[in-house]
Amino acid sequence: MQARVLFARFVAPFVPVIIAVALCSGCVTTDHALQSGPAITDDAAFRQWFTFYYQDPHPEQLTAAVKFMQANGYLDETQSEGRDMPLIASVFLSRVMKAHTSELRQWAASWQSLGRQEWYVLLVSLYMADTVDSKRVMAANLHKVDKTHQLRLAGMQKLPPSALDPLTGPVQSERQINLLWAGFSASGDLHYVRKVIGAIPLYGDESGHKAGIGEAALMSLATNALQNETVARECAEVNVRTRDKKTRMLLSAMLAAVAEIARNDQRGQDAISH
């Protein structure tokens, strides 16, 4: 498929929602995860914290982020809109918890006012974090959820935590694409990006299900490459070294489309400045 066709069909519709993010290089950060950070009071601040966490990590805002998600129903699995968000949050939070395992007990103390739905997400995250401290904190707070959720957690614990990592096994659903990006946002681990890239050959598959996965992977790569130089660079590097012709064709088309958007955006900024 030619680059301009991919651009028109998959990338151009996302231009209105692409946010140019300028991270403040002069912001003061801290190694103390529990030091009070600025409150997260609106969706833009939350998305900035979540999407670009690995570039500008603020673990001191974790509880504020969880409470923002609670206030907006993001962690309520009964909500039909954004129903994947609890699982996306679990993947993201588990990576942050794993990196700050010594802080978990104090964080848990700040979660005491949360409801059952929020605690369920946190308990799943603690299990996925797979550290001695996370398992202890999980065991100490199982009573925070009802019997139904306790049974679900008991069933989950029959699996190794690694089985819940979206990096494990092949990509089998569009939902998994979102989980991979959550893992990347929290950690900056390029294995998550490579897993998404590995799914794009499914684009155009005779199976509608597989084709949907391929399209989701390609669209998400385009969107993230526009916002994140690290993702764009990884796509370019894979494009050079891959032996798969379909992957190379699709990545080339996507990167050409992203470059065109970037050029148009720069021309627009230049016009405004003059």
| Domain residue ranges of the chain, discontinuous segments joined by + | 61-165, 171-269
262 against 240, higher pLDDT: 240
The confidence score (pLDDT) of residue 264 equals 75
The confidence score (pLDDT) of residue 57 equals 95
The confidence score (pLDDT) of residue 10 equals 44
**Average pLDDT estimate for 6-19:** 40
Give the model's confidence band at 108: pLDDT under 50 very low, under 70 low, under 90 confident, else very high: very high
Instruction: Report the Cα 58 to chain-centroid distance in Å.
Output: 15
Question: At residue 212, does pLDDT exceed 90?
Answer: yes
Contacts of 236 by beta carbon, 8 Å cutoff, 6+ apart: 251, 255
Q: How far apart are CA 39 and CA 185, in angstroms?
A: 20
Question: At residue 156, does pLDDT exceed 80?
Answer: yes
Give the model's confidence band at 24: pLDDT under 50 very low, under 70 low, under 90 confident, else very high: very low
Q: What mean pLDDT, rounded, does the chain reach?
A: 85
3-state helix/strand/coil string of the chain: CCHHHHHHHHHHHHHHHCCCCCCCCCCCCCCCCCCCCCCCCCHHHHHHHHHCCCCCCCHHHHHHHHHHHHHCCCCCCCCCCCCCHHHHHHHHHHHHHHHCHHHHHHHHHHCCCCCHHHHHHHHHHHHHHCCHHHHHHHHHCHHHCCHHHHHHHHHHCCCCHHHHCCCCCCCCCHHHHHHHHHHHHHHCCHHHHHHHHCCHHHCCCCCHHHHHHHHHHHHHHHHHHHHCHHHHHHHHHHHHHCCCHHHHHHHHHHHHHHHHHHHHHHHHHHHHHC
Give the model's confidence band at 273: pLDDT under 50 very low, under 70 low, under 90 confident, else very high: low
Q: How far apart are CA 70 and CA 86, in angstroms?
A: 10
The confidence score (pLDDT) of residue 49 equals 95
77 against 176, higher pLDDT: 176
pLDDT of 52-64, one tens digit each? Answer: 999 999 999 999 9
Question: Looking at 23-27, 95-99, 196-200, 212-216, which range is the least confident one?
Answer: 23-27
Instruction: Show the tokens assigned to 61.
Output: 């805002």
Give the model's confidence band at 141: pLDDT under 50 very low, under 70 low, under 90 confident, else very high: very high
**Is residue 205 within 8 Å of residue 211, measured between CB atoms?**
yes
Question: At residue 4, does pLDDT exceed 70?
Answer: no
Question: At residue 81, does pLDDT exceed 50?
Answer: yes
**Whole-structure pTM value:** 0.82
- Counting residues of the chain whose pLDDT is more than 70, the rounded percentage is 82
- Counting residues of the chain whose pLDDT is more than 90, the rounded percentage is 73
Give the model's confidence band at 263: pLDDT under 50 very low, under 70 low, under 90 confident, else very high: confident
